[in-house]
């Protein structure tokens, strides 16, 4: 049947059907035979379109993978340099009581730390616990990034600059959750078992990523995410200082500085992509914003509260740790940084994507007003992380 249909497919392909040939075909066959044959023609045409789309997609993916490989020297000289040598990096122990001190001195330091932490309100502890849980779920984030076609480090020890960056970045990020975890443990203010259960649930649930294995989308996501995290940790530092915990303020501040440096790396990568592949990068940026940049802790669960991440985010919004306006600010910053409004020479589709991105922030800001109105009516609910004490959403 396929061999019989091939000439018909060539004759009646979309947009180029020959009316004379079509009349001859219809005249030479009964209506039922015509209907059956034309149905098979349409089926064959559909399969041909799918095959052509798959072939084109595979070709473009291979072409982009080669483009990222061609960037390896650039990554070596412009991105890897933003990692700090281990011997020059801060470590969690730099901000915690030293257990090697004699017993009396160690417990004195712990006591000082607990006295400063005792003034932290419950809603702030919820925010700090949520931030720590998000940072501690690092294995999922590295796995997601490792699958990007530009990295594709199946051995987990590739010497390519892309893979070395990812491992170095993950190693630096790993200290964040480690430090916050130990701080909360020593503070005595939270239910560590419930927090530990939440971490296990989150790592076990995986990670919702809207970029699949597309590296353009992946580095746009991390550019946005790293800046957002820097802002939230910076705001947490500010509030910790206001509540009298200078040690915690320093901890959140040093983590925010790390996130800022990582943000710089990913923003530089997207800078380069806009330079060498502007059309696709613009489409990827628009697509990520249409899907929304979901936070890494989206699948949080503590074993007893549904919508845990949503409730945690609502508290963060109320405390101005990370708000809808912050989200819009990050978007506007990236548009300016990547000079998106001034990009020229784009395809029609990419220009539409450009218009969408450049006009999005004001629409997002309108949601802030609704959030504030909703917050006034929000109830107080118990959080297991603070022994089920109630916190207003």
Q: Of 136, 165, 176, 385, which is the active-site residue? A: 176
Active site residue 352: no
Q: Of 262, 287, 326, 385, which is the active-site residue? A: 262
Q: Tell me: is residue 216 an annotated ligand-binding position.
A: no
Please state the three-class secondary structure of 196-237 as a single string: HHHHHHHHHHCCCCCCCCCHHHHHHHHHHHHHHHHHHHHHHH
Active site residue 216: no
Active site residue 173: yes
* CA–CA separation, 219 and 155 (whole Å): 21
Q: Of 72, 74, 76, 90, which is the active-site residue? A: 90
Give the other-Cβ count within 10 Å of 363's Cβ. Answer: 9
Please state the three-class secondary structure of the chain as a single string: CHHHHHHHHHHCCCCCCCHHHHHHHHHCCCHHHHHHHHHHHHHHHHHHHHHHHHHHHHHHHHHHHHHHHHCHHHHHHHCHHHCCCHHHCCCHHHHCCCCCCCHHHHHHHHHHHHHHHCCCCHHHHHHHHHHHHHHHCHHHHHHHHHCCCCCCCCCCCCCCHHHHHHHHHHHHHHHHHHHHHHHHHHHCCCCHHHHHHHHHHHHHHCCCCCCCCCHHHHHHHHHHHHHHHHHHHHHHHHHHHHCCCHHHHHHHHHHHHHHHHHHHHHHHHHHHHHHHCHHHHHHHHHHHHHHCCCCCCCCCCCCCCCCHHHHHHHHHHHCCCCCHHHHHHHHHHHHHHCCHHHCCCCCHHHHHHHHHHHCCHHHHHHHHHHHHHHHHCCCEEEEHHHCCEEEEC
Active site residue 66: no
Q: Of 135, 153, 263, 302, which is the active-site residue? A: 135
Q: Of 229, 281, 314, 323, which is the active-site residue? A: 229
Active site residue 119: no
Q: Of 153, 172, 214, 226, which is the active-site residue? A: 226
Q: Of 214, 258, 287, 326, which is the active-site residue? A: 258
Q: Tell me: is residue 135 an annotated ligand-binding position.
A: yes
Q: Of 122, 153, 173, 263, which is the active-site residue? A: 173
Active site residue 306: no
Residues contacting 97, CB < 8 A, separation 6+: 106, 109, 110, 113, 186
Active site residue 87: no
Q: Tell me: is residue 262 an annotated ligand-binding position.
A: yes
Active site residues: 90, 135, 173, 176, 226, 229, 258-259, 262
- Residue numbers belonging to the annotated binding site: 135, 173, 176, 226, 259, 262
Annotated binding residues for Fe cation, as ranges? 135, 173, 176, 226, 259, 262
């Amino acid at each position: 049947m396929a061999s019989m249909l091939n000439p018909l497919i060539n004759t009646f392909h979309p947009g180029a059907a020959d009316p004379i040939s079509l009349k001859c075909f219809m005249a030479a066959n009964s209506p039922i035979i015509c209907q059956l044959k034309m149905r098979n023609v349409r089926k064959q045409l559909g399969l041909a379109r799918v095959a052509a789309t798959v072939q084109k997609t595979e070709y473009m993916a291979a072409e982009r993978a080669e483009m990222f490989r061609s960037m390896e020297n650039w990554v070596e000289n412009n991105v890897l340099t933003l990692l700090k040598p281990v011997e020059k990096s801060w470590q969690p122990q730099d901000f915690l009581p030293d257990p090697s001190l004699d017993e009396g001195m160690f417990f004195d330091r712990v006591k000082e730390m607990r006295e400063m932490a005792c003034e932290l309100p419950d809603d702030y502890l919820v925010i700090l616990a949520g931030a720590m849980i998000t940072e501690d779920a690092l294995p999922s984030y590295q796995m997601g990034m490792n699958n990007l076609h530009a990295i594709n480090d199946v051995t987990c020890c590739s010497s390519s600059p892309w893979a070395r960056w990812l491992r170095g970045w993950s190693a630096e990020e790993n200290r964040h959750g480690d430090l916050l975890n130990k701080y909360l443990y020593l503070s005595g203010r939270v239910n560590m078992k419930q927090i530990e259960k939440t971490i296990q649930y989150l790592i076990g649930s995986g990670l919702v990523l809207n970029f699949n294995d597309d590296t353009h989308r992946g580095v746009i996501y991390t550019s946005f995410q790293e800046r957002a995290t820097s802002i939230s940790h910076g705001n947490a530092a500010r509030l910790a200082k206001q509540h009298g915990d200078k040690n915690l303020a320093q901890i959140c501040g040093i983590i925010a500085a790390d996130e800022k440096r990582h943000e710089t790396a990913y923003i530089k990568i997207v800078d380069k992509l806009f330079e060498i592949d502007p059309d696709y990068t613009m489409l990827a940026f628009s697509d990520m914003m249409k899907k929304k940049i979901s936070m890494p802790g989206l699948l949080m669960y503590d074993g007893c509260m549904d919508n845990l991440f949503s409730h945690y985010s609502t508290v963060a919004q109320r405390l101005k740790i990370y708000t809808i306006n912050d989200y819009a600010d990050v978007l506007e910053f990236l548009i300016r940084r990547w000079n998106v409004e001034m990009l020229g020479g784009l395809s029609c589709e990419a220009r539409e994507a450009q218009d969408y991105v450049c006009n999005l922030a004001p629409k997002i800001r309108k949601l802030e007003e609704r959030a504030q109105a909703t917050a006034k009516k929000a109830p107080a609910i118990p959080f297991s992380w603070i022994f089920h004490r109630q916190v207003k959403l």
